[in-house]
Amino acid sequence: MPALRTALLQSSGSLSDVAANLTVLDDAAGRAAATGAGLIVCPELFLTGYAIGDDIAKLAEPADGPSAEAIAAIAVRHGLAVVYGYPERDGDTVYNAAQLIGPDGTRLANYRKTHLFGDFEQAAFTPGERCVVQAELNGLRIGMMICYDVEFPENVRAHALAGTDLLLVPTAQMHPFQFVAESLVPVRAFENQLYVAYVNRTGPEGAFEFVGLSCLAGPDGAARARAGRGTELVVGDVDPAFLAASRANNPYLRDRRPGLYASLV
C-alpha cells in the first residue's frame, strides 16, 4: 500500500469571510495536489475563523450545507481529500465540527468536538457525544478529533484501540500552550502507535495568539513535517509499511492490563 502524502494548511484565513477562506483552501489544495498529496487538512473553524463572537450562530451551516458542496467541488477539482473545521448547525444546536470530504466529493465523516475549551467555546457550542469517528481513505483508517480533545489521553487511546491509523486534529492552539504542539502531540503518536496530523491556526486573532507549529507526527514520535509560526503549507507521508513495522515492535497496546484501569471510568 503506497504512502498517503498529507498536506497541513497552517492558516487563519479571514475572520467571518467564508468566501475568502474557500479561496484560500482552493489555492492550497492545488499546491498540495502538485506535490502528490492525497489529503489536505485545515485548522479548527477554518471556514469562518475562530474569534468571531456572535457571528458563530449566523455563519453555522449544516454538514451538507453550501460550504460542504463548495469544498466537495474543490476536492474533486484537485483530486484529493479535504478536512476542514467549521461551526455545524443541526436544528437549533451548534457544534464545533470538522468534516472529511473524499477526493470524489463524498462526505466521509463528520466529527463534533467532545471537549470544549474555555468560556468562549462552552458558551457558543454544544459538546459532541461520539469520541471515535472514523472513515476509510486510501486503505487507511482515518480518525478525527479537534484541538483540546487530543490533550485527553483516553481520547487518543480509544482511537488506537479502534484501529485508527491516521488521526486528524484540526486545532486552534494558542499561547502559552505551545508545548502541546511541540511535545505532547508526538508523544500521543508514539504511545498509541499511529500518525497524528495536528494542524493549527497562526497569529493574533481577537484576544487569542495562535502559535502555529503544526506537525505530522509518526508512531516513532518523530515529526514527518513541522511548520513554523506563520502561514504555511507543509507536507509529509503517512507510510503504512512503517506503521505496521512500528506496531510490531512497540508493545504498549499488547502489554496493557485493562483490568487495572477500572477506576479511570
Per-residue pLDDT of the chain (265 residues; tens, 9 = 90+): 899 999 999 999 999 999 999 999 999 999 999 999 999 999 999 999 999 988 998 999 999 999 999 999 999 999 999 999 999 999 999 999 999 999 999 999 999 999 999 999 999 999 999 999 999 999 999 999 999 999 999 999 999 999 999 999 999 999 999 999 999 999 999 999 999 999 999 999 989 999 999 999 999 999 999 999 999 999 999 999 999 999 999 999 999 999 999 898 7
113 part of the active site: yes
Please give the distance of CA 33 from its chain centroid, rounded to a whole number. Answer: 18
232 part of the active site: no
Active-site hit among 147, 151, 205, 215: 147
Active-site hit among 42, 44, 61, 205: 44
215 part of the active site: no
Active-site hit among 61, 113, 121, 131: 113
